């Protein structure tokens, strides 16, 4: 405290000595500049007076403080107080140093713990990164292994497809050679295709080559790779064969007479049969008049040999007729007698339009009638397919749905009334149609029948000459 007061007094004396000359010079210059201006002069004089008073008061204050300091220094209590202050200052400094040391130690401990935690975290992260790297490497290896497997499978599939393509090309060449030159049936066609190999054989598909459930049937459908019999599903179409009912429950097909449908079938028969006979000698040709979708309008064609059947398959597959594209399949009909519903010809079939056996149109002039009773003696296959499971239980009427008589049909009055209405409608329609189409239908039928009979005789002559030449070739080859 004493040293600070002493220092202040020294600074004050220096300031007075330094600025005394400057003040006098400034005052003289100011008086010279403001000569004649008393107000300005009084302002400066008062300012200088106030300054002198302040300086005097400051000197007196410094003197008093100096005297007071000396008096206190001579006092023993002041010395004690100074000593206490010095000790207090030393204690404060020591305490601050101690607290700073403790804080430093705490900070070092926290830093050490943080470093340890950070190192532990880094070790964990390192382990996680290593595990992730191992997992990524494992996934990459699995992915590469899977890709290699897929690549191998793709290459294998491509090889198999290429082999199948080559086999198919070779088979097509063999089929073409077989169709053009005859000979043995290609081995690639001596196969069969099954839908459910481990299930019993579907009796309806085995007999008729068609099933109402198609490939979703719970039984096995066996399709031959080659056969003498071709089936063209829905080849023939007529409005009377479609199951169409209006909102009143009546069927529109009742408005058509069976004679009209048969005349339409005869036109179709004479139009299609010459084209079919271009491929070879036809032993059987039947058109279904069933109303069920899987049998409706199906055409069955049986040729005399495999060669002619393959030729017919190639000829009609994918062709168009009546605005529809044809789809041809080989089917195996073991017996036409068991495939064709015999009760339908006598109009006694209890199943009606829901029968699963073949309801066929009667061919004009009873053509191919011998084949209906299996009297045409179709030669058996020269090769056998692989034996599979077959079901020996072939029930004639077991799986066909029975028609449930309705309450209206059970009423005899309603039956008599409906029969009278049908008879009256048939008489009216026959009377109308006879006036317009009788003459034309007779001319068309006579002309087509004559043309067909002439073509039939020519075809038989050509087929007989062809069969004799084939027998001659086969005998020469056997020799």
129-145 pLDDT, tens digit each: 999 999 999 999 999 99
Residue 383 resides in a domain: yes
Residue 410 confidence (pLDDT) above 50: no
Could you tell me the pLDDT band of residue 257, with boundaries at 50, 70 and 90? low
Residue 457 confidence (pLDDT) above 80: no
Instruction: Supply the pLDDT for residue 369.
Output: 81
Mean pLDDT comparison of 72-81, 214-223, 415-424, 442-451, highest-scoring range: 214-223
Same domain, 53 and 198: no
The pLDDT tens digits of the residues spanning 77-120 come to 888 888 899 999 999 999 999 999 999 999 999 999 999 999 99
Residue 181 resides in a domain: no
Instruction: Supply the pLDDT for residue 253.
Output: 53
SS3 of residue 380 by DSSP: coil
The pLDDT tens digits of the residues spanning 314-337 come to 999 999 998 889 999 999 888 888
Residue 82 resides in a domain: no
Q: What is the mean pLDDT of residues 202-224?
A: 91
Residue 357 to residue 338: CA distance in whole angstroms: 8
% pLDDT > 90, the chain? 39
Beta-carbon contacts of 312 under 8 Å, excluding residues fewer than 6 positions away, are 230, 276, 279, 280, 301, 303, 328
SS3 of residue 157 by DSSP: helix
Indicate the number of domains in the chain: 2
Could you tell me the pLDDT band of residue 4, with boundaries at 50, 70 and 90? low
Same domain, 245 and 370: yes
Q: What is the span of the domain harbouring residue 328? A: 190-425
Name the more confident of 341 and 382: 341
Same domain, 258 and 407: yes
| Least confident segment among 127-141, 222-236, 367-381 | 367-381
Residue 384 confidence (pLDDT) above 50: no
Residue 241 CB-density burial (10 A; 0-12 exposed, 13-18 middle, 19+ buried): buried
Copy the structure tokens of residue 473.
């070739």
**Cα 197 to the chain's mean position, in Å?**
28
Sign of CA pseudo-dihedral 158, 159, 163, 164: negative
Instruction: Supply the pLDDT for residue 182.
Output: 78
Residue 121 confidence (pLDDT) above 70: yes
Residue 66 to residue 78: CA distance in whole angstroms: 15
Residue 154 resides in a domain: no
Instruction: Supply the pLDDT for residue 2.
Output: 47
Tokens 């459908």 — which residue? 221
Residue 181 CB-density burial (10 A; 0-12 exposed, 13-18 middle, 19+ buried): exposed
Residue 164 to residue 171: CA distance in whole angstroms: 10
pTM above 0.75, yes or no: no
Residue 320 resides in a domain: yes
- For residue 299, the domain's CATH number is 3.30.70.330
Domain boundary among 408, 425, 442: 425
Domain boundary among 425, 442, 469: 425
Residue 472 confidence (pLDDT) above 70: no
Residue 450 resides in a domain: no
Residue 280 to residue 178: CA distance in whole angstroms: 14
Q: Across the chain, what does the average pLDDT equal?
A: 77
Residue 36 resides in a domain: yes
Domain boundary among 29, 59, 74: 74
Instruction: Supply the pLDDT for residue 393.
Output: 34
Instruction: Supply the pLDDT for residue 32.
Output: 56
Could you tell me the pLDDT band of residue 187, with boundaries at 50, 70 and 90? confident
Residue 247 CB-density burial (10 A; 0-12 exposed, 13-18 middle, 19+ buried): exposed
Residue 265 to residue 336: CA distance in whole angstroms: 21
Instruction: Supply the pLDDT for residue 434.
Output: 41
Tokens 């001579």 — which residue? 74
- In the sheet where 329-331 sits, what is the strand order? 282-287, 299-303, 229-232, 329-331
Residue 32 to residue 46: CA distance in whole angstroms: 17
Residue 11 resides in a domain: yes
Copy the structure tokens of residue 371.
């084949």
Residue 471 confidence (pLDDT) above 80: no
The pLDDT tens digits of the residues spanning 273-312 come to 999 999 889 999 999 998 888 999 999 999 998 999 999 9
Beta bridge partners of 193: 223
Copy the structure tokens of residue 360.
């066929």
């Amino acid at each position: 405290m004493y040293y600070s007061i002493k220092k202040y007094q020294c600074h004050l004396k220096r300031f007075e000595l330094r600025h005394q000359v400057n003040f006098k010079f400034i005052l003289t210059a100011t008086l010279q500049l403001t000569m004649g201006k008393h107000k300005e002069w009084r302002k400066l004089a008062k300012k200088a007076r106030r300054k002198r008073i302040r300086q005097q008061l400051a000197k007196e204050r410094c003197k008093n403080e100096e005297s007071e300091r000396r008096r206190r220094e001579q006092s023993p209590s002041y010395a004690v107080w100074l000593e206490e202050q010095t000790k207090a200052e030393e204690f404060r400094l020591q305490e601050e140093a101690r607290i700073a040391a403790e804080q430093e130690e705490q900070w070092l401990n926290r830093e050490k713990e943080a470093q340890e935690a950070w190192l532990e975290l880094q070790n964990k992260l390192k382990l996680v990164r290593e595990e992730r790297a191992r997992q990524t490497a494992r996934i990459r290896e699995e992915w590469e292994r899977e890709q290699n497997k897929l690549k191998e499978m793709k290459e294998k599939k491509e090889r198999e497809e290429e082999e199948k393509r080559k086999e198919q090309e070779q088979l097509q060449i063999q089929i073409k050679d077989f169709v053009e030159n005859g000979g043995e049936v290609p081995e690639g066609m001596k196969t069969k295709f099954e839908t459910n190999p481990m299930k019993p054989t579907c009796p309806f598909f085995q007999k008729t080559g068609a099933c109402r459930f198609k490939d979703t049937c719970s039984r096995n459908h066996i399709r031959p790779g080659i056969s003498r019999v071709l089936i063209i599903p829905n080849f023939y179409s007529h409005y009377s064969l479609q199951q169409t009912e209006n909102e009143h429950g009546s069927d529109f097909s009742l408005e058509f007479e069976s004679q009209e449908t048969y005349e339409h079938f005869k036109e179709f028969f004479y139009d299609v049969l010459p084209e079919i006979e271009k491929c070879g000698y036809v032993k059987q040709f039947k058109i279904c008049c069933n109303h069920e979708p899987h049998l409706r309008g199906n055409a069955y064609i049986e040729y005399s040999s495999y060669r002619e059947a393959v030729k017919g398959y190639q000829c009609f597959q994918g062709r168009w007729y009546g605005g529809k594209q044809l789809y041809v399949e080989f089917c195996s009909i073991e017996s036409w007698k068991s495939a064709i519903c015999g009760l339908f010809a006598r109009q006694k079939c209890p199943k009606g339009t829901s029968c699963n056996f073949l309801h066929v149109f009667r061919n004009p002039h009873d053509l191919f009638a011998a084949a209906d009773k299996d009297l045409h003696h179709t030669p058996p296959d020269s090769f056998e397919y692989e034996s599979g499971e077959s079901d020996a239980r072939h029930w004639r009427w077991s799986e066909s749905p029975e028609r449930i008589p309705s309450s209206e049909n059970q009423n005899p009055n309603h039956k008599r009334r409906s029969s009278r209405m049908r008879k009256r409608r048939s008489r009216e329609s026959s009377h109308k149609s006879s006036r317009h189409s009788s003459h034309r239908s007779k001319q068309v039928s006579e002309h087509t029948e004559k043309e067909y009979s002439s073509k039939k005789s020519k075809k038989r002559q050509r087929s007989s000459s062809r069969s004799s030449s084939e027998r001659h070739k086969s005998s020469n080859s056997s020799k």
